[in-house]
Structure 1
Amino acid sequence: MLLNTIELGPENGDLSRPPVVFLHGLFGRGRNFGFFQRRIAATRRTLALDLRNHGQSPHGMMDYPTLAADVHETLSAHDALPATIMGHSMGGKTAMMMALSFPADVHSLLVADIAPAQGGLAQSQHLAAKMADLPLPDFLDRAGADALLAHDIAEKPVRDLMMMNLDLGEHPHWNIGIHEIARSMPAIIGWPTLAAGIHYDGPTLFIAGGQSRYIQPASYPMMRKLFPHYQLEIIPNTGHWVHAQAPAEFLHLMQQFLEAA
């Protein structure tokens, strides 16, 4: 599946270096990384992708091998391989699967606040099911949508994220594959069983939120087994949305990694 792609790059820069690819999390879209993409694009070619069922990409059932295959097919079509792959949450699991499935095409890997393990997104399964079954009125403006979503989503930032996926006005509707997402949630919460010995030898950086529980010490052995050269950086006083809560610190770590890798 070819994915919707936002591409930015320098007018006069070194395009010989691997491009940098951004993969968003569940219910997000490529333009969520606009702040980081614009800054990295000052010197590097960058591509931000809408994963399937998200943004303007086609819809279909999801699991991580399928998502990784979509990313690989899309980057190949853009002549953007090998690449540095950066992903957050669901996008981070997709980035890891891309590196494990197509190691020769991944120059380096940056994973934001997710581990190669079951779990980490379990609370989203209930949300996806609720949103798929949510009756929408004949007309909905932003205030009405916020009030409607507030019945099931207490956190304002999460409501704002979900509202990006609604076309408002007359005959409002989801502009994402909400039903496919809901049916795919067991696979998205999970992590596939991998063949013995599979691993990725390239440079790998995990960035975790200091107050997040998505990367736990119990996952370190598997992280080392699959990504033997990984490093872990923790940004204090941040949660799962580590890049949004500490953008300057996250950008600094990302730029350091890109220069060193």
Structure 2
Amino acid sequence: MSVELNHRVSGHGEPLIVLHGLFGSLDNLGIIARQLEDSWQIHALDLRNHGSSPHTDDMDYPSMASDVVAYMDSQGIDRASILGHSMGGKVALQVALSFPERVSAIIAADIAPVTYHPRHDNELEGMKTLDLAGVKSRREAEQQLSEYVPEPGVRQFLLKNLERIPKDQQTGDGHLFRWRLNLPVLGGCYNNLAAAPEGDGPFEGPVLFIKGADSAYIQDKHRDAIKRLFPAAELEVLEDTSHWLHAQKPEAFAALCRQFLEASCP
């Protein structure tokens, strides 16, 4: 069953739906949205169990794709291009496989339509074990999280999901913070999120995969799966970037998106 997604709309032009990755929110690709909203109407979404969207007991790519299409229906959008990073890229690819008539073009940032080995055990464990009853500041939260997540940038990214509880909602149990993420479901459904999008395809429309040159998320061994499901796919490599390519080189990333969208959807 689809859910009503939190969203932000900006700009004017043909619709471009923007989808964040695991542990993210609609703010994550905000700098990219701002660079493209001069030519497209940007629909940035919080995926289920993330940001300010509803929490659900289930989570997989078909259900998330249905959420996106339900959002399109609510906005009167017949067809749209979709840009997704990481998990959001898999959601975009799932929409194309399940609802090809609703998709003009797809941009999948640093993700392939394949099943990955678990990559987020430390992040999940660190967030689950954070002592929310004892944490009095974000600095304390970061110190605790550092035992599981050594990279400062990743810790800061995860802690964007830690929100202070408004005074009128505090219950006197000592909790000043709570997670916006639905951590139990993300952990319980992680295998679904590591899996490949479902469907035999192919989606014949235009698809651009953008790889971070220093990232291992898109590899040569994924080429057959990409071509089988998305025979018109193109690949661009953004030099000197990792999995967070859109944040490391936003201007270059946005330029690749613009060039592809203008050529694919004139």
One fold, TM greater than 0.5? yes
Cα deviation, residue 229, structure 1: 0.4
Aligned to 2:253: 250
TM-score, with length taken from structure 1: 0.92
Which of 5, 17, 20 does residue 3 from structure 1 map onto? 5
Deviations, residues 232-258 of structure 1 (Å, cap 9, x unaligned): 000111111111111111011011011
Report SS of the residue matched to 1:45.
strand
Deviations, residues 139-166 of structure 1 (Å, cap 9, x unaligned): 4212112111111111111111111111
**C-alpha separation between the residues in 2 aligned to 1:29 and 1:76?**
21
* Structure 1 residue identity aligned to 2:195: G
Q: Say if 2:153 is the partner of 1:157.
A: yes
Which of 57, 60, 67 does residue 63 from structure 1 map onto? 60
The answer to whether the 8 Å contact 1:208/1:234 transfers is yes
Report SS of the residue matched to 1:140.
coil
Aligned to 2:195: 190
**C-alpha separation between the residues in 2 aligned to 1:46 and 1:78?**
12
Aligned to 2:176: 171
TM-score, with length taken from structure 2: 0.90
Report SS of the residue matched to 2:28.
helix
Aligned to 1:52: 48
Deviations, residues 109-141 of structure 1 (Å, cap 9, x unaligned): 000000000106x22134224422433234421
The answer to whether the 8 Å contact 2:48/2:54 transfers is yes
Unaligned segments of structure 1, at least 5 residues: none
Q: Say if 2:33 is the partner of 1:31.
A: no
**C-alpha separation between the residues in 1 aligned to 2:72 and 2:181?**
22
Which of 238, 243, 257 does residue 240 from structure 1 map onto? 243
For 1:4-23, list aligned pairs within 5 A. 4-10=6-12, 15=13, 17=14, 19-23=15-19
Q: Say if 2:112 is the partner of 1:115.
A: yes
Q: Say if 2:222 is the partner of 1:219.
A: yes
What percentage of residue pairs aligned between the two structures are identical? 37
Q: Say if 2:128 is the partner of 1:95.
A: no
Aligned to 1:124: 120
The answer to whether the 8 Å contact 1:2/1:73 transfers is yes
Report SS of the residue matched to 1:228.
coil
The answer to whether the 8 Å contact 1:98/1:106 transfers is yes
Aligned to 1:86: 83
After TM superposition, the runs of 4+ consecutive aligned structure 1 residues lying more than 2 A away are 132-135, 137-140, 168-171, 192-195
Unaligned segments of structure 2, at least 5 residues: 166-174
Aligned to 2:204: 201
The more displaced of 227-236 and 131-140 is: 131-140
Report SS of the residue matched to 1:31.
coil
Cα deviation, residue 173, structure 1: 1.2
**C-alpha separation between the residues in 1 aligned to 2:121 and 2:190?**
6
**C-alpha separation between the residues in 2 aligned to 1:81 and 1:141?**
45
The answer to whether the 8 Å contact 1:139/1:168 transfers is no
Q: Say if 2:72 is the partner of 1:75.
A: yes
* Structure 1 residue identity aligned to 2:133: P
The answer to whether the 8 Å contact 2:122/2:149 transfers is no
How many residues get paired?
Answer: 252
